[in-house]
Amino acid sequence: MLFWEEEKVSGETLAQGDVVDLFFSINCRSLPVDHAFQLTEAILAVLPWIVAEPSAGIHQIHVASSQNGWERPEATDDQLLVLSRRTKLTLRVPSTRVADTKRLTGARLDISGHAMTVGAPKIRPLSSQSTQLARYLALPAVDDESSFLRHAATELDAMGITLKKALCGKARPIRTPEGRIQTRSLLIANLPPEHALLLQREGLGPHRELGCGLFLGHKGIDPVIRPDDESALRDA
């Protein structure tokens, strides 16, 4: 005899192959700008299976003024993000791991001396928006925009996604004990819904546990292009 109670999101039942984002409320006053490694270590102490789950990842925490991913402060030893009550901790996991991920509720994490208490999560399905943003991509040739975009186009083509319009941001390192991981942000536009969902489910590049390669639906490409950025918009 089998009893199977499926999770529901906004009245919809999650299929076994679905991937979702869990938005945890948190009580935390501030974090270092470059907090990815320390946040990952703290979460893996509670949820060690994340590194072995191909579709799982841990989003870095962004405050309201930098949610578009293009105006994030430079990471220095004393630079902090001041968090509000609305700031969330977001994990991307397959629907079969939702119950396991909820074990994070109530955890007290220490992130470089900054205390974080994790509250209950809300589940959100992936976005089918035609514009998708990855704040951090750890792909080869990060130091050269054209090479970076070509490599991204090759990786996407292997997934069956044709890159038509994309905008890459400036390089940003993530510090780890083994050295710095160089990353760039990447905004991709004109995606059909099925490709937008595929991109979020599969991700792009390594280090998902550090927030790399995780795409989010974005309202559009125009708000993040300043006049001096328009030359960076590539038409394939």
Domain parsing of the chain, residue ranges: 17-125, 131-235
HSE-up of 157 (CA within 13 Å, CB side)? Answer: 8
Q: Which amino acid is at 112?
A: S
In this prediction, residue 23 carries a pLDDT of 97
pLDDT over 60 at 221, yes or no: no
Specify which residues 125 forms β-bridges with.
20
| Domain 17-125, CATH | 3.30.70.1890
Edge-first strand listing for the sheet containing 114-125: 57-58, 88-94, 19-27, 114-125, 108-111
Alpha-carbon distance of 157 to 3, in angstroms, equals: 41
**CATH class belonging to 131-235:** alpha beta
The chain-wide mean pLDDT, for the chain, equals 84
Identify whether the C-beta of residue 28 lies closer than 8 Å to the C-beta of residue 38. no
pLDDT tens-digit profile of 141-162? Answer: 778 888 999 999 999 999 999 9
Q: Tokens representing 224?
A: 């993040």
Confidence band of 66 (pLDDT split at 50, 70, 90): very low
pLDDT in tens, 90-144: 999 999 999 999 999 999 999 999 999 999 999 999 999 999 999 999 988 778 8
Task: State the pTM of this model.
Answer: 0.82
Q: Comparing 17-125 with 131-235, is the CATH topology the same?
A: yes
Distance in angstroms (rounded) separating the CA atoms of residues 225 and 233: 9
Q: What is the DSSP letter of 112?
A: T
Q: How many CB atoms lie within 10 A of CB 71?
A: 10
In the prediction, which pLDDT does 143 show?
Answer: 80
Nearest one of 195, 199, 32 to 114, comparing CA atoms: 32
